[in-house]
Amino acid sequence: MEFMLDTVNLDKIRYYQNILPLAGVTSNPSIIKKEGKIDFYVHLKKIKEIIGSGQLHVQVVGELKEEIEKDAQVIVDNLGKETFIKIPVNEQGLAAMKTLKSKGFKVTATAIYTEFQGYLAIAAGADYLAPYYNRMENLNIDAAEIIRTLGEEIKRTNSSSKILAASFKNVNQVNQACRNGAQAVTASPDIFEQALVMPSIQKAVTDFHDDWRAIFGTEKIYEL
């Protein structure tokens, strides 16, 4: 499983880079907006410095095929050709994907709400597919089932596309995505915090510590 951070907050990326088996960082314009008016390329280059060989997924803003392609070109010119270009799966996005894939760009097909968008993105050769888990649930769409069927399609067609499930609001949604075959997930820092800073985990750690101290009178094994 590949775990990615869905944020461009430098402090959070630095913090979790040291903690998680982090495969990369994903962003979109709404995520970038949360940081205020950053210097776009300078900021994303700082992320690249922090994550080293980790992946960076950057979303286009242009809506027409030619605009998407121009956005993609300036993104790789500034951030490197290893950058994954996130492109929404609609008519213009699919058209741009065809061209960009034929030119060797790395593509993450995003804004996936339906099974059919997923099938098209697989056929277009997208490297990653980003189904929007929570947004699908809000529309009463069975996100887990869509991830499962897209996984089957990837196997059936021997495709190299991977499912990068996104848009999570709780840990259970992440579990469901993993359980149903997503090869990668991207989640905001608060989801990792929800998962790892549970009172029961801390209670177990504290109880073990107390029991050690009660037997040996030291705080650490190396103090014996």
**Footprint on this chain of ligand E4P (rule: CB under 6 A):** 6, 26, 28, 30, 110, 130, 132, 134-135, 166-167, 186
Q: Of 34, 45, 65, 86, which is the active-site residue?
A: 86
Minimum distance, C-beta of residue 68 to ligand E4P, in the bound complex (Å): 16
Taking the CB of residue 138, how many other CB atoms lie within 10 A of it?
13
Which residue's CB is nearer to ligand E4P, number 154 or number 163? Answer: 163
Minimum distance, C-beta of residue 94 to ligand E4P, in the bound complex (Å): 17
Minimum distance, C-beta of residue 84 to ligand E4P, in the bound complex (Å): 10
Minimum distance, C-beta of residue 25 to ligand E4P, in the bound complex (Å): 10
Which residue's CB is nearer to ligand E4P, number 110 or number 154? Answer: 110
Which residue's CB is nearer to ligand E4P, number 96 or number 187? Answer: 187
Which residue's CB is nearer to ligand E4P, number 86 or number 148? Answer: 86
Is 33 a known active-site residue?
A: no
- Burial-class residue 51 by CB neighbours within 10 Å (0-12, 13-18, 19+): buried
Residues belonging to the active site = 86
